[in-house]
Structures are given as structure tokens and as C-alpha cells.
Amino acid sequence: MKNFHHVLVNTLLANVTTSFLWFALTFWIYIETRSVLATGIVGGGYMALVAVCSLAFGVIVDHNRKKKVMVIAQIITFSMYLLAAGMWIALPDSAFLSVASPAFWAFIVVILAGSVVENMRNIALSTTVTLLVPDGRRDKANGLVGMVQGIAFMVTSVFSGLAIGYLGMGPTLLIALSATGVAFAHLVTISIPEDRIATAPRAASEADAASDWEGAAAPVPDGLPTLRDRVDLAGSIAAIRSVPGLFALIIFTCFNNLVGGVYMALMDPYGLELMSAQAWGVVMGVTSIGFIVGGAIIARTGLGSNPVRTLLAVNIGVAAVGGVFAIRESWLLFAVGIFVYMCMIPAAEASEQTILQRVVPFERQGRVFGFAQSLESAATPVSAFLVAPVAEFAIIPWMREGSGRHMLGWLLGSGDTRGIALMFLIAGLVMLAAVALAFVSPQYRRLSSHYAGMRQPVPAARGGR
């Protein structure tokens, strides 16, 4: 646990740094160009790269010692930020002031690459929980991971805008580069006991995946995977299908992220309709404390004997809060709702992590975490891109000027934001229906039973750095 806590502190510093620079970059792009299209392309590009790269990241995690993966990710991030700083110094200011400038987009792509690779560290962290934390304490450890993510989000929300507003991009880059170097220096001193790599052979069927689970993992050379092993998608899917109900859980989470895209697309516009940009930034910074509170609760109490049930129960709360926090046009109601919503997110994330850490063979966890992250990351922006035009051109005008205002005024009240409120309500009801179906499904019962009867052997967690 001492080693795990050191890894967690290092991950906090690394996550804060990459999130800080990425958010600052988004603010800087809009300030310099006033182009919503540019910020949209960058945000969508980031999520798309996370979805595409997560599969490869998972393979790398499975074929290397976890500390080596973290070191590789940190070196790549530092190198990309150093290259961006060099571009900033070498090129004239005019090269960064137009969306038509190749230097402008090259600068963004370099920072994007350095930020996306951080997700490889996060996948490695999920498997490190399995490696370093005893089975009965992994839910609480995942709660600590949620706290780390919450602290990173809070710090990022508050300080990225301040850094760009008061210091500019140059000093912001210097801060990020210095913090990345500190994180790397600290990482070198951390020990992650793992004397060999547990790597299963490539499974071509569910039977193969099941045999991988039962058999002992053989030591393999430490290094990057071969071309044949780089994209073992069939083997990862087979490993997931070998666990009763696990594929259904991933699809359920993916569907919830599709619904969550409604909030991603409309939460900022709704908040900015109710208050100034400065006030909205403060609200986001304060309410993000909910991530820390939720993570702390899980770290203290755990997830109970059945994290599958906990995951579904938490999603009932998420759906209920998301459906009603805009039921009236009140910034206070909205802010309190966001805080409660953020308190519940760490429990949902920790539940899924804890389930996968027990029921998926350790030697395949990187690929399964990567596959799940890929699907779930792709779902949210797809939904957001679909929801935004529907809301802008249909629902919002219908509630503002059409018959919807009179038809649903008794339920949603009055105000210019009632169209967005209706979208939130519909998303909450759809999520509630999905959770209700999941609770009565045979997949829920099978996965719960399989989780209760499973214990995860970790043959690699002895000795070494």
C-alpha cells in the first residue's frame, strides 16, 4: 500500500499538469481566434484520439512492467511539451494568431500528443491497483483514484484560466514543463514490485480466453509488443465474453456515456445563460470538490459486497439528479445539482474498475481497460455532436417560442433556458429506464454471482522495481 500511495501521488502531479495545460490550451485557442469551430475540432480530436489510442495503450501496458509504461508516458509528455515550448520561442507571435496558420495547428497537435499519452498512464494505474492492493481493499483504493481525478479537475478548473488570463501561453507552458519534469524525477524514485510480466497468449475464442484464466502466466521478454500482438482485439473481446455479463456491463456504461453526451454538450451553455463566464468558472471549480468528496467516501467505506449493484444504484442517482437540476431556472439549484452529480461519479468509476480488476485475468487487464475506455470515450462526443444541433434548431426554439412553452410550462417553469432543461429531463428519464432494465436482466445476476465467487491471482506482484 505504501508503494501504491507513492504511485497515486505521482499520478496526481502528472494528471494536474496535463489537464492544466490542455484546458489552458483550449482557453487560449478561443481567446486568440474567437472560433468555436476551432475549439470544437480540438476537443473532438482529443476524445477521438483517446478512443483510438486506448486499444494500443492497453496492449503496451500488458506487455511491459507498469513502472516502465509510466516512465515512457512521462518521457513522451515531457518531450512533446519541450517541443511545443521550442516552437513558441522560435516562431513569431503572428504564426499563432490565425486558424489558417500551419504553425498554429502544429503547436496544438504537439500539445495534444503530449496530453493524450497520459491516458496510457491511467490504464497502467488501473492495473497497478490489481498488482499492489489486496483484493478486499481495491474498492477503497479506486476511491482514492477518484479523489486524485477530482483534485486534478478542481485545480485545472481554477488555475488554467487564471494562468492564460494573467500570464499568457508562454509562462503557462513553462509551468507545465517544469511540473512534468518534477513528476518524472519523482517517478524514478518509486518502486512498483513486479519481477516478471504476466502475459497471456493471444486468445482466438472464448474457450482460449477461459484457459488463459486458468493457466499460469509465463514470463516473456520485457519490451514493446510484436506486430502480431499490437492489436489483439479478438483476444480482448474473447476475454470479456468469457466473463458472464461483463460485455453487457461495458455496453451499459457506453450507453450511459451516450446519454451523458447531452450534459457534455449543454451544461456549459446552460450555465452561461444563467450567469457570467467568471461566475460559471467559479461554480465549476467549487462544485468539482464533489469529485473529492465522493472519492473520499468510497476510500473510507468501500463499495459494499456487490459493486455491480452499487454501479447501477449510483446511476439511478445520477439520472435523477441530471433530470431535475434544471427543472427550474435557478443557478443555485443547478450548482447544488452539479455538486451532488460529481459526488456520485467517483462511485460509478470505482465500481467499474473494481469489477474489472477482479473478474478479468491480470495478464489481459491492460487490453480490457483500453477496450472499455475506447468504447466509452467514443460514445460521449458522438452523442454531444448529435445533441447540440437538435437542441439548437428544434427543442430550444420549440420551448422558447413554440407550443412547448405552454404545454410543459407546468413542469419546467418559465425562462429562456427551458429547452435545455427539457433535454436534461429526457436524458435523465432515458438513463433511468436503462438502469431499470439492467437491474432485471440476467446479465446483472450472472455478473454479480461471478464477481462474488472470483478471486484474482496476481503472480507478478513480487520483487523488482
| 409-436 residue pLDDT tens | 888 888 888 888 999 999 999 999 999 9
User: Residue 382, Cβ neighbours under 10 Å: how many?
Assistant: 16
Question: 334, 301, 344, 361: which is closest to 435 by C-alpha?
Answer: 344
Do 236 and 179 have their domain in common? no
pLDDT tens-digit series, residues 2-54: 888 889 899 888 888 888 898 888 778 877 776 656 766 777 678 778 878 88
Answer whether residue 465 is part of any domain: no
Angstrom distance (rounded) from CA 76 to CA 260: 31
- 217 pLDDT more than 60: no
Do 70 and 125 have their domain in common? yes
Question: 430, 420, 356, 354: which is closest to 387 by C-alpha?
Answer: 420
Task: Identify the pLDDT of residue 36.
Answer: 52
Answer whether residue 288 is part of any domain: yes
Do 254 and 139 have their domain in common? no
Answer whether residue 213 is part of any domain: no
Do 170 and 98 have their domain in common? yes
Do 152 and 254 have their domain in common? no
**More confident position, 284 or 222:** 284
Residue 240 — pLDDT band, cuts 50, 70, 90?
Answer: confident
Do 235 and 172 have their domain in common? no
**CATH number of the domain encompassing residue 112:** 1.20.1250.20
Do 295 and 379 have their domain in common? yes
User: Residue 37, Cβ neighbours under 10 Å: how many?
Assistant: 9
Q: What is the mean pLDDT of residues 287-300?
A: 89
- 120 pLDDT more than 70: yes
Do 1 and 143 have their domain in common? yes
Q: What is the mean pLDDT of residues 292-314?
A: 91
Q: What is the mean pLDDT of residues 86-105?
A: 86
Are 153 and 338 a contacting pair, CB within 8 Å?
no
Answer whether residue 215 is part of any domain: no
- 281 pLDDT more than 80: no
How big is the chain, counted in residues?
A: 465
- Specify the number of domains making up the chain: 2
Half-sphere exposure of 249 (CA within 13 A, CB side): 34
Do 139 and 238 have their domain in common? no
Residue 259 — pLDDT band, cuts 50, 70, 90?
Answer: confident
Do 238 and 381 have their domain in common? yes
Strand partners, 199: 218
Helix axis angle, 365-390 to 233-241, nearest 10°? 90
pLDDT tens-digit series, residues 348-381: 889 988 998 888 888 888 888 888 888 877 776 6
Q: Please tell me the least confidently modeled range out of 50-54, 80-84, 88-92, 178-182.
A: 50-54
- 438 pLDDT more than 70: yes
Domain that holds residue 442: 231-455
Q: How far is CA 152 from the centre of its chain?
A: 12
Mention every residue, 6+ apart, whose C-beta is less than 8 A from residue 364.
62, 200, 209, 212, 235, 236, 239
Main-chain dihedrals φ then ψ at residue 203, nearest 5 degrees? -90, 130
Mention every residue, 6+ apart, whose C-beta is less than 8 A from residue 83.
110
Mention every residue, 6+ apart, whose C-beta is less than 8 A from residue 406.
none
Do 93 and 235 have their domain in common? no
Where helices occur in 288-417 by DSSP H, the ranges are 289-301, 307-324, 331-359, 365-390, 396-400, 404-407, 409-412
